[in-house]
Amino acid sequence: MKKLKFFTNIKISIFALLVFGLGTPSCSNFLDVVPDNVFQYEDLFTSQQQARSALATLFVMLPGENWRLTWPLGDEYPFVTSYSLSSRTTVPGATIMRGEQSATSPVLNYWTGRNLPAPYNIGIYTNLRECDQFIRNIDRVPDMDSEMKADWKAQAKFLKAYYLFMMVQAYGPVIIPKFFDDDGAITADLFQPRSKVEDCFDYILNLIDEAIPHLVGKRETLYLGQPDQVAAKAIKARVLLLRASPFFNGNSEYYPNFLDHNGEHFFSQTVDREKWKLAAEAAQQALDACGQFGFSLYTFKGKPYDFDTTDYRLNRLDPIIDLGPNVNQNRMQTLYDLRFRITERWNEEIIWGWVRGTEPMSAAAIINKSRGLGGPAPENLGGGWACASYQAMERYYTQHGLPLNEDRTVNLNALHEIVKTPEEHEPEYTPLRGYMQPGTTTINMYLNREPRFYADLGITGGYVREHMLRIPTMMFEDTEGGYMPGIHNVSYIPSSGIAVQKIVHPEGYHLNIHTQKIYPNPIMRVADLYLMKAEALNEYYGPTQEVYDAVNAIRMRAGIPTVEESYGGTFVTDGARNKHLTKEGMRDIILHERAIEFAFEFGHRFWDMQRWKRSVSEFSRPMYAWNYRGTTAETFFVLRNIQGRKWGITECLWPIQNSELERNTNLIQNPGW
């Protein structure tokens, strides 16, 4: 066999640490096992330890908990500070949403890696080649049994499938790469054409199916982060859901003239509704595997923080005050269930996750801690410049489980009206305990919202649990959570006036990377499977009790009424009444539920809007925010257009860099570029 040079600028020791040591505090066994330079690829397969390092490098392109890439896609994070505008490559996801993408110099260039920050700048196709080399060489390792070799080979196949899924999601038709011929020699066919979308999906699904039987059922603690059977089944469901969605399933609206060199359509022009059935079945199979191996929706089982003890007790155990039928008697338990559903490391809901360990998103979202505020965390600053847009805040439900404009108790003309919360001694304050500060200034829009609103956001008159404290936030200039002149660097301004606490662990503080309470970026969690199942079933059969039950599992954990109660009850507007009884109405409910449950996570809303062909209308709207320089409620609650957005059909598929088209004349550019 020919000697193959393996070139990399990735520190393998770092990836061995992150991939194989996420479950325990110590992982020194995997440090410094391979030099960070050029070496013979065969050298990695002379021992199990060396092969483990080779496996670790295959995880490099997984999108970690990093604010630079896909998290800013969509309309949840404004990213309008001078820092995020200083360079096209600083926050590429945000740059794309401003319409600064180009075929000459693509911003999120997964195809080749050019213009991406390290370590992503090797490109996905480089990583795919390494997956293939790993698959071809792992059987040569002498000190591994056949079962372990089969598992590691299956991991490489699964990662290859997942990377191709990422490519299809972003580019549509891609090259199904062939790096070796049947004899094991490097193929002479280096300039391969793009395959049709359906062929790409088939290839991805076949790889996953090949991998599943050979993966372990569930990873043990030390190896959390490596894919197992549950993760592979869950990702298979996601792939099938994407394939069934309108963007890829008979998209004759966008791509009637997108043809290959033979004049054949890259995108199928005919809708195949059976794909929804396959997606629903895959989601159920993944949920069955979750049940078998102990995965479930997360609930908090620990002891509440000292700063919440009183409110926790009063909300749960006070038998005197009748809170009414629409207020959760266990509101603080619900708040903790939601506050920790992604930040508690490797909890029972996280099916597959990934921690890169550098520049986590939480570091950009954590709010400023004023000097003199106290608490066990050392004096330090935050920033909160990865803040929430007005649109993202507005999407959260009311306490009745309805959007603002579908709840008849909401006066849409008085949403921005300045009010005060009840005083602590008043009975009306009981349901607000631990959610809102007593006797403080806020606006109507911030009252009577669902528990996720208060668990995920940092708002005026509410609380943010960070820095090991419960911080009473006002968000005005020179107040807790807001912009502090003389303290805040100009690049770290909470420019929307709305913080995102969902992605910051309550004990995290912004001193260095080791104080962030790093948790796995949730690539897949159980809640996603419930909502995928609901969506696919609804599209195939229409709204059924099974659809409602899947959505209600998420709503019950969120402390809001069921779909049937919300849309068939007394609080819904006449125009939205019984919306859940039609396929189209239930579709909107499910997508809205996804937008809330996965808000600020991993670009979920962006990809949902893309696959449903709603991104053009949703993401061409400007970004809105409060006036973060306001020092009073009157000057702060002024809605501003802070950033224009550009998103059309052309932007729905990312461009292949022009230099690649010149190098490989078999490639055809995506339409519009």
Contact 370, 483 (CB under 8 A): no
Tokens found for residue 353 = 């996750």
The stretches in the chain having pLDDT less than 50 are 1-39, 82-86, 317-329, 358, 513-514
Number of Cβ atoms within 10 Å of the Cβ of 646: 14
Q: Is 101 left (phi over 0), alpha (psi -120 to 50) or beta?
A: beta
| Residue 115 in domain | no
Angle (nearest 5°) at CA 647 between 452 and 458: 25
Task: Show the tokens assigned to 452.
Answer: 């996720």
ω into residue 655 within 30 of 0, thus cis?
no
Listed in sequence order, the residues at least 6 apart from 595 whose beta carbon sits closer than 8 Å to its beta carbon are 395, 604, 605, 608
Whether 473 and 608 share a structural domain: no
- Interatomic CA distance for residues 191 and 562, integer angstroms: 54
Q: What is the pLDDT of residues 580-634, one digit of tens each?
A: 999 999 999 999 999 999 999 988 999 999 999 999 999 999 999 999 999 999 9
Other beta carbons within 10 angstroms of residue 55's beta carbon come to 23
In this structure, the answer to whether residues 392 and 356 fall within a common structural domain is yes
Q: Do both 562 and 625 map to the same domain? A: yes
Q: Is residue 406 within 8 Å of residue 580, measured between CB atoms?
A: no
- Kindly tell me the burial class for residue 492, based on how many C-beta atoms sit within 10 Å of its own C-beta (0-12, 13-18, 19 or more): buried
Of 260, 43, 6, 228, the closest CA to residue 126 belongs to 6
Q: Are residues 452 and 533 in the same domain?
A: no
Query: Does residue 533 share a domain with residue 440?
Result: no
| Residue 459 one-letter amino acid | I
In 195-304, DSSP assigns E strands to none
**Can you say whether residue 468 is alpha, beta or left, with left for phi > 0 and alpha for psi between -120 and 50 degrees?**
left
Collapsing DSSP states into helix, strand and coil, what is residue 188?
A: coil
Strand, coil or helix: 419: strand
* Domain extent at residue 492: 306-397+411-522
Q: Mark whether 366 and 505 lie in a shared domain.
A: yes
- Examine the domain organization and report whether 421 and 564 are in the same domain: no
**Ranges assigned E (strand) in 394-517:** 418-420, 441-443, 457-458, 462-466, 469-473, 499-500
Q: Are 459 and 435 in contact (CB under 8 A)?
A: no
Query: 650 in a domain, yes or no?
Result: no
Rounded Cα distance between 517 and 467, Å, is 11
Q: Cα–Cα distance between 65 and 503 in angstroms, integer?
A: 10
Is the dihedral angle over the CA atoms 453, 521, 90, 382 positive or is it negative? positive
Three-class secondary structure of residue 619 per DSSP: helix
Reported residue count of the chain is 673
Distance CA 150, CA 152 (A): 6
DSSP state of 444: G
DSSP string, 112-140: T-TTSPTTGGG-HHHHHHHHHHHHHHGGG
Whether residue 370 is found in the same domain as residue 490: yes
Strands (E), 437-478: 441-443, 457-458, 462-466, 469-473
d(CA 482, CA 505): 19
Crossing angle of the two packed helices 48-57 and 124-137, in degrees rounded to 10 = 160
pLDDT value for 162: 97
- DSSP SS3 for 420: strand
Q: Which helix (H) or strand (E) holds 496?
A: none
Residue 535 and residue 593 in one domain: yes
Q: Is residue 38 assigned to a domain?
A: yes
Structural element, H or E, at residue 250: none
Please answer whether residues 157 and 207 qualify as being in contact, where contact means their C-beta atoms are separated by less than 8 angstroms: yes
- Domain-ending residue, one of 506, 522, 538: 522
Cis peptide leading into residue 119 (ω within 30°): yes
Do 494 and 621 reside in the same domain of the chain?
A: no
Tell me how many domains the chain contains.
3
Q: Is residue 601 part of a domain?
A: yes
Q: Report which of 558, 550, 577 is spatially closest to residue 566, judged by C-alpha positions.
A: 577
| Residue appearing with tokens 């109507």 | 444
3-state secondary structure of 161: helix
- 87 located within any domain: no
Q: Name the nearest CA neighbour of 341 among 172, 180, 519, 96.
A: 519
pLDDT digits (tens, 9 = 90+) for 364-413: 888 888 777 888 887 766 778 889 999 999 999 999 999 999 999 999 99
Q: Is residue 491 located within the same domain as residue 372?
A: yes
Beta bridge partner(s), residue 419: 442
pLDDT in the model for residue 286: 98
Does residue 563 form part of some domain?
yes
The contacts found for 614-618 with CB under 8 angstroms, 24 or more apart, are 615/647, 615/651, 615/652, 616/647, 616/648, 616/649, 616/652, 618/75, 618/647
Of 10, 260, 289, 279, give the one whose Cα is nearest residue 123: 10
Domain annotation covers residue 192:
no
Q: In 318-356, where does DSSP find H-type helix?
A: 331-339
Residue 197, SS3 per DSSP: helix
Domain closes at, from 496, 522, 548: 522
- Cβ neighbours for 317, distance < 8 A, ≥ 6 positions apart: none
pLDDT of res. 437:
98
The pLDDT score that the predictor gives to residue 319 is: 46
503 and 609 both lie in a single domain: no
Give helix 526-541 / helix 274-293 axis angle, nearest 10°. Answer: 150
CATH code for the domain in which residue 630 is found: 1.25.40
Tell me the three state secondary structure of residue 25: coil
CA gap 297, 612 in Å, rounded: 26
| Threshold 0.85, pTM exceeds | yes
Q: Does residue 377 form part of some domain?
A: yes
Kind and range of the H or E run holding 189: none
As a whole number of angstroms, the distance between CA 466 and CA 382 comes to 10
How far apart are alpha carbons 638 and 618 in whole angstroms? 22
Domain-terminating residue out of 522, 537, 560: 522
